[in-house]
Amino acid sequence: MQSGGSTPVINRSLFGVVQAAIEDGGLGEIYGASHGLEGLLVGRLIDLRDQGEARWSRIARTPGAALGSTRRKLTTDDVPAVLRLLDEKRIGYLFIIGGNDSAETGHTLYSEAAAAGMPLTVIHVPKTIDNDLALTDHSPGYGSAARFVALATMGAGRDAEGMGASSPITVIEVMGRDAGWLAASAALGKRDETDAPHVICLPEVPVNEDRFLGLVEEAYGRYGSAVAVVAENARGAAGPLGGDEEPWYVDDFGHPYYEGAGRHLAALAGRRLSVRVRYERPGTIQRSMAACVSTTDAREAGRAGQAAVRYALEGATDAMVTLVRGDGAKYACSTGLAPLEQVAGQVKRMPDEYLDPSRYAVTQPFLDYARPLIGPPLPWFGRLR
């Protein structure tokens, strides 16, 4: 099953699971749950063994959840229906491709099945553009979304620079519910002080509005344009930016979403500097832009799916596949396992060594961490002398 927000490479992991299960030869039916938990509750299953090589080749390169995803939270009342279906279909292995909330679902189903005396192997395959899963170096999906944000920021910077006085400032609001990994990736295309972004607002660093405006004004005065990248849930010391104490949406897992941190800061900048400030909010294209898929991300997403089956057949259960970075100077990545109970409901925020709070920026160690994940080098733009 696939769960939570989609990524550009979520189907690479799905293909990896199915491919490894077919190649093993000892497994029987391979089912996919239509829209995750919703499909499990009503028995809406898809035969994944009988799809054909050509179809899988296309699906592996397709963004969005091919099985259909869900954000439904597993309730106590749901458990008997799910376990009954698994028992009726003689399903002994459950692979969940998802984020930290999906890890909680997997751990709960494993525990409830064990309590009922029902053998069930549960392996969680990590997936999130937010990169906030605990106990893994990074998460499949992040590298591709980070590449998109970096390219979008580079382009917005040159647009603001070229437009000059007519619209010299841009504020881009990007995804990242609890952590700033995705907003921070905007800096991956910055090669000198003139390049965007000039300010990055992250959930890990409370935003002082006067300080933010001062940094934007300083960049505008020095370079003639400025770009700020703001995480969607960036906050001030007193709470949500803009003074909206009530979130516009709270999902089944209790996660609040606030409207327009970037819009609020863009309005402040426009009033302070008396210039046109563009506010951009890319939305779901951050996690669905096939043209920005990182080759590294795609490869590792498929590898995580394959590893999930291998670990399951070796006897692992109630665990998440992790990506483990090698120690050498050249980037390398292998897989490992982490207990689901230590992943479920946890959030991996950016460490202090990656943050430069005084400049609302990120440090070189973050750039060294993130650059290998986004695939080939970003383009190098030019300027007239």
Q: Which among 78, 101, 130, 318 is annotated as catalytic?
A: 130
For residue 162 the two structure tokens come to 């070229």
For residue 384 the two structure tokens come to 């007239």
166, burial (CB in 10 Å: exposed 0-12, middle 13-18, buried 19+): exposed
Q: Omega of the bond prior to 126 within 30 degrees of 0, cis?
A: no
Q: CA 3, CA 67: separation in Å to the nearest integer? A: 9
130 included as an active-site residue: yes
Q: CA 375, CA 291: separation in Å to the nearest integer? A: 12
Residues annotated as catalytic (active site), given as ranges: 130
